[in-house]
């Protein structure tokens, strides 16, 4: 059975301070068109569950539609890091990842209804450890792998330099550690710095 680990895009979903909040409306009703309802939405590409394109933090790097879809489909290992403020190799090295090339980190007991200001973050040195172990995708249940107020976004850059794609805003509060099938495809938006993801996992 597949488990949904995606935040629902809805009115009031927390968004980055000052960024475009999510909104949806039926712009043309069935009564108006005579046949169908037609909706429209507006949102930051970094609201809720989303993938970061390297272009998000490096203007010379690839945009989201250029990323290989195979990055986002396959084996993933969920590791429980709840209570750890800065996650480094020392928090992963005792775990047998069973060869999974994708790592999903559970860092908070539940998703907040407000945008979190102080979040668990990734130490930049974790990137080299992950590459050494064949990992090319890192997913987290927070809006960022870096501190919310960071301008250097050191973890983003370190992960990219080591060939690791980032997915943020997952919902892992109801997920046990272990090996899973993972699907988390971002929308194919030309020139975009990121895209919403519908992410699901299935216990192997």
Active-site residue set: 56
DSSP 69: G
């Amino acid at each position: 059975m597949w488990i949904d680990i995606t935040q629902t895009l809805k009115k009031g979903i927390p968004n980055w301070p000052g960024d475009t909040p999510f909104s949806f409306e039926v712009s043309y009703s069935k009564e108006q068109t005579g046949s169908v309802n037609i909706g429209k939405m507006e949102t930051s590409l970094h609201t809720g569950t989303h993938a970061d394109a390297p272009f998000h933090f490096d203007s010379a790097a690839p945009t989201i539609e250029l990323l290989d879809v195979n990055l986002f489909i396959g084996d993933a290992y969920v590791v429980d890091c709840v209570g750890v403020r800065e996650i480094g190799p020392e928090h992963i090295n005792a775990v047998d990842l069973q060869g999974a090339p994708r790592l999903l980190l559970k860092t908070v007991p539940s998703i907040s209804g407000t945008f979190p200001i102080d979040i668990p973050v990734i130490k930049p040195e974790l990137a080299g450890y992950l590459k050494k172990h064949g990992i090319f995708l890192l997913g987290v249940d927070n809006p960022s792998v870096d501190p919310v107020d960071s301008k250097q976004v050191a973890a983003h850059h370190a992960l990219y330099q080591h060939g690791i794609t980032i997915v943020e805003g997952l919902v892992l509060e109801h997920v046990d550690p272990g090996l899973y099938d993972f699907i988390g495809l971002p929308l194919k938006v030309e020139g975009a710095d990121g895209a919403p993801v519908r992410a699901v996992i299935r216990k192997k």
